[in-house]
Amino acid sequence: MTGRPREELKQPARFIAIIGDIVSSRKLAGPQRKRTQSALIEFLSGLNRAIHEAVVADFTIIRGDEFEALIKPAGASRLISDMVWEAMEKFPGISFRFGIGLGTIETEIDRDPRVVDGAAFHRARQAIERAEKENMLGGVFAGFGDDQDAILNGMARLLNHHRTNWSKQQRRLAQLLRRDPVKSHAAERLGISKQAVSAYARSAGWEAYTEGETGWREAIATAVVPHSARKSHDVTPSPRGR
């Protein structure tokens, strides 16, 4: 039996669209909201600089405190986990929603995500709307496959629950250990003994958290493997609502 031409078997390129938003930003007091918006601009610029090789359309504020980006699947697992972590680290006391969609892009690729459209963005929009409706923090995934979406969403929720239950001291220690896992270095920064660092890390469940985050990254990486053996869920996209 003659096989089909290779070009007919080739899967359309897929990308990951990210839509983020600050929860209840309108309720922030005037000066605090102004500081938060300035910090958000700096945060997004930092993401664009740090992972420029993976970003297709830059992290850009599109309205209010909502932002969008388009990234390549390669490297997405590290980028997504770091983005969620840094949002917690740089905005203490403020929560973010993230909608993360995998799919094709139907328009020309542009550095400005506001002029890019396709199934990836439709799914990211569906995901962040679900996050808002169901108060789901830590990231909501759509378009990775029903089983994969359930796994990624469940792990995101568990990690978020873990982070939100840290005390101020545990959170500070976690931030130091995530950058540098050597406990003696953290002890020097905090002005406490290495034994105290170990005790704080145990009470924070730090080893469990890091293992969970590693598993989450691996699950994301597995979910964005080319879908050559999977049925495509893409549909012809309708115009994006703005």
Domain extent listing, the chain? 12-223
pLDDT tier for residue 10 given thresholds of 50, 70 and 90:
low
- 24 or 223: whose pLDDT is higher? 223
pLDDT of 11 > 80? The answer is no
**pLDDT on residue 25:** 67
pLDDT grade, residue 148 (50/70/90)? very high
- The encoded tokens of residue 1 equal 């039996």
φ, ψ of residue 129 to 5 degrees: the values are -65, -40
Full-model pTM: 0.84
The CATH classification of domain 12-223, taken from the options 3.40.50.2300, 3.40.1190.20, 1.10.8.60, 3.30.70.270: 3.30.70.270
Q: What is the pLDDT of residue 171?
A: 92
Give the integer Cα–Cα distance in Å for 104 and 239: 14
Inform me whether the pLDDT recorded for 85 exceeds 60: yes
C-beta neighbour count of 124 within 10 angstroms = 29
**pLDDT tens readout for residues 149-196:** 999 999 999 999 999 999 999 999 999 999 999 999 999 998 999 999
**What is the per-residue burial (b if ≥16 Cβ within 10 Å, else e) of 126-163?**
bbbeebeeeebbbbbbbbbbeebbebbbebbeebbebb
Can you give the pLDDT at residue 100? 97
Has residue 202 got a pLDDT over 50? yes
pLDDT band of residue 227 (cuts 50, 70, 90) is: very low
> Measured between alpha carbons, how far is 228 from 217 in angstroms, rounded to an integer?
21
**Average model confidence (pLDDT) for the chain?**
85
**Residue 226: predicted pLDDT:** 56
- Residue 229: pLDDT above 70? no
Percentage of the chain exceeding pLDDT 70: 86
- pLDDT bin (cut points 50, 70, 90) of residue 225 is confident
| Chain centroid to CA 173 | 22
pLDDT tens figures, 12-53:
789 999 999 998 766 666 777 788 888 888 989 988 887 777
pLDDT of residue 161: 95
- Work out the average pLDDT over 53-65: 86
